[in-house]
Amino acid sequence: MQQQLRAPGWHIGRTRGKPFTAFGMQVVPIGFAVHVSWPGGGFTWHRPVAVEVRHGDDVRRLAIHDVTLEAIVSIVMTGIAIVILSTSWKRWIHTKRRNIS
Amino acid sequence: MIDVEKEMQPTISGTAQVMSKMIDVANVDAVFGKPVEHGETVIIPCGEVAMGGGMGFGSGPGGTSEQGKLLTSAGGGAGGGVNARPIAVIVISPEGVQVKPIIDTTKVVLAAFTTGAFMLYWLSQVGRITRTARGKGLSFTRLKRAIER
């Protein structure tokens, strides 16, 4: 992981953490990283994506959702949709009235 | 100028190393925290980490000394930022593994207020324009007519 992040240039991809075992289950954290480096600087963005749970032969993958981001995006998209729809509706009403008069 | 840059080289490389190390800190261990055991459950916190930084260095002529020697001046700067926020906690218990999301209410409320304010402003502007076009408010056509009279 460290070696991947230290590579010069850029790196985009999945990362896997150290497996953790508890109650007979092995949990492997999976992340998604974007790393860009240039001479004298760089940028890294890393977020968790899922956890892989191994219980015997059974392997399950539990997704990690960013609920805060999803809520903010929903609110903003709803607001934009309301604005566009109401503007179009008002314009339509106005055109209709102008045509009648 | 070259001498100044040579003298500054250890400082520059040191700063670059610090910057590089700072950015490398955002590995999987930073995203998934250390497991915390609490009774019969194990909790693993996980969050998003974003880090960025940069540095620059420059040198140039710095005038002349009292003895008439040409002087050089050099300067540099570095800056960076870190953003980390919790996203979810992984709860491991004998019953199984659960991912419980964390919601940042403050951010969501702020986004809702901002969107609401933008919507109100936009809709009021649209309403004003429509009223003006219908002749109920101020318009350039009405102003022109008033001047002509």
Reported as a single tens digit per residue, the pLDDT across B57-93 is 787 877 777 777 778 887 888 888 888 899 999 999 9
Does residue B33 belong to the interface with chain A, where contact is any CB pair within 8 Å?
no
Residue A80: pLDDT band (50, 70, 90) is very high
What is the overall mean pLDDT for chain A?
85
- The answer to whether residues A70 and A43 belong to one domain is no
- Contact list in B for residue A89 (CB cut-off 8 A) is none
Q: Which of B37, B134, B49, B48 is nearest to B94 (CA)?
A: B37
- The answer to whether residues A45 and A78 belong to one domain is no
Q: For the full predicted model, state whether its pTM sits above 0.90.
A: no
- The answer to whether residues A2 and A25 belong to one domain is yes
Asked whether the beta carbons of residue A68 and residue B29 sit closer than 8 angstroms, the reply is no
Residue with tokens 């490398």: B24
Nearest to A64 among B56, B87, B115 (CB): B87
- The answer to whether residues A57 and A24 belong to one domain is yes
- The answer to whether residues A36 and A18 belong to one domain is yes
Identify the domain containing residue A24 by its residue range.
Answer: 1-64
Q: Which of B10, B33, B14, B32 is nearest to B22 (CA)?
A: B14
Q: What is the pLDDT of residue B2?
A: 54
- The answer to whether residues A60 and A71 belong to one domain is no
Q: What is the pLDDT of residue B134?
A: 59
Provide the pairing of β-strand B36-38 with B41-64.
antiparallel
Given a contact cutoff of 8 angstroms between Cβ atoms, the answer to whether A63 and A32 are in contact is no
Locate A82 and state its tokens.
Answer: 């309301």
Tell me how close the Cα of A48 comes to any Cα of chain B, in angstroms.
6
| A26, β-bridge pairs | A21, A54
Give DSSP secondary structure letters for B67-88: TS-EEEEEEEEEEEEEEEEEEE
Q: What is the pLDDT of residue A6?
A: 47
- The answer to whether residues A4 and A52 belong to one domain is yes
Domains contained in chain A, number:
2
Is A57 buried (19+), middle (13-18) or exposed (0-12) by CB count in 10 A?
A: exposed
What is the average per-residue pLDDT within B25-52? 85
- The answer to whether residues A6 and A53 belong to one domain is yes
Residues ≥6 apart with Cβ < 8 Å to B63: B71
Q: Alpha-carbon distance B19 to A100, whole Å?
A: 68
What is the average per-residue pLDDT within A39-63? 89
Q: What is the pLDDT of residue B5?
A: 62
- E strands, B96-143, in order: 96-101
Q: Alpha-carbon distance A98 to B113, whole Å?
A: 35
- The answer to whether residues A81 and A46 belong to one domain is no
Q: Which residue has the higher pLDDT, B75 or A29?
A: A29
- The answer to whether residues A76 and A57 belong to one domain is no
Residues above pLDDT 70, as percent of chain A: 91
Q: What is the pLDDT of residue A72?
A: 96
Nearest to B54 among A18, A33, A40 (CB): A40
Cβ-based neighbour number of residue A21 at 10 Å: 11
Q: What is the pLDDT of residue B146?
A: 67
Locate A99 and state its tokens.
Answer: 């045509």
Please check the confidence at residue B135 and state whether its pLDDT lies above 60.
Answer: no
- The answer to whether residues A40 and A17 belong to one domain is yes
Q: What is the pLDDT of residue A73?
A: 97
Q: Which of A77-91, B20-34, B48-62, B94-108 has the lowest mean pLDDT?
A: B20-34
Asked whether the beta carbons of residue B115 and residue A63 sit closer than 8 angstroms, the reply is no
Q: What is the pLDDT of residue B138?
A: 53
Please check the confidence at residue B55 and state whether its pLDDT lies above 90.
Answer: no
- The answer to whether residues A34 and A74 belong to one domain is no
